[in-house]
Amino acid sequence: MCADKKPDLSLFVDILQTLENIQAPYMIIGAFAGTVYGINRVTFDIDIVVDISDKHILALSEKYPLPRYYADPQMIRNSIDMGIMFNVIDTERGEKADLMPLSGTLDYRPAFERRIRQLVEVPNSEPFEVWCARVEDIVIGKLLAWKEGRSRKHETDIFDILVFHYSKKESDLREFLIDEYAKNLGEDTLNLWQDIKAEAKKEASKDN
């Protein structure tokens, strides 16, 4: 991508709408999904988990044909068989979207089964509904990512989500599920989770 070219979400939005149109099972996760639940930072990455069959693969390839796009059906089949990420590439704009087959993200199987419809708002696009991980599954994913890399951004994202939900009169956050998962991730992760909860409750109480 050119250095003076600002990234946007047009390819991701188009792919999400395509997955909707071809009725391919999918779920968005990560920070972009978290914006529905209170994450404040701007992100140009959308993490998409898919559970697609050959008819969906062929539909994707037909939607994104050469020479502008690269979405080779055999490459997608091979990636699904190996449980690894595959790409849809827009060679004209120099952008690509990464999609992860559910077969390669077995930890997300329960989250995939719990996924729900959510309305998302994207700059320069009309709001539209997508399949999104539930809020507690976003937090669990963030805790797992923190355990693996100790990145500060995951701590901040979890904090933002909790402040958002503690500030609501009625929250659908099933905290007990996160409590159980945090225990299984070890003492460091559990302590982090408990510390973030305490700080988020203090922050949310300032506005109440």
Does residue 88 surpass a pLDDT of 80?
yes
**Among 76, 78, 74, residue whose Cα is nearest residue 87:** 76
**How do residues 16-28 score in pLDDT, each as one tens digit?**
999 999 999 999 9
Confidence of residue 43 (pLDDT cuts 50, 70, 90): confident
How many angstroms separate the CA atoms of 28 and 30, rounded? 7
Segment holding 187, helix H or strand E: helix 187-205
Topology annotation, domain 10-132: Beta Polymerase; domain 2 (3.30.460)
Strands of the sheet with 69-70, listed across from one edge:
69-70, 86-90, 95-101, 47-50, 26-29, 128-132, 116-120
Domain ranges of the chain: 10-132, 135-205
Alpha-carbon distance of 69 to 93, in angstroms, equals 10
The pLDDT tens digits of the residues spanning 140-173 come to 999 999 999 999 999 999 999 999 999 988 888 9
Nearest to 103 by CA among 128, 78, 124: 78
The per-residue pLDDT of the chain, averaged, comes to 90
Rounded Cα gap, residues 156 and 127, in angstroms: 26
Please tell me the distance from the alpha carbon of residue 198 to that of residue 195, in angstroms, as a whole number: 5
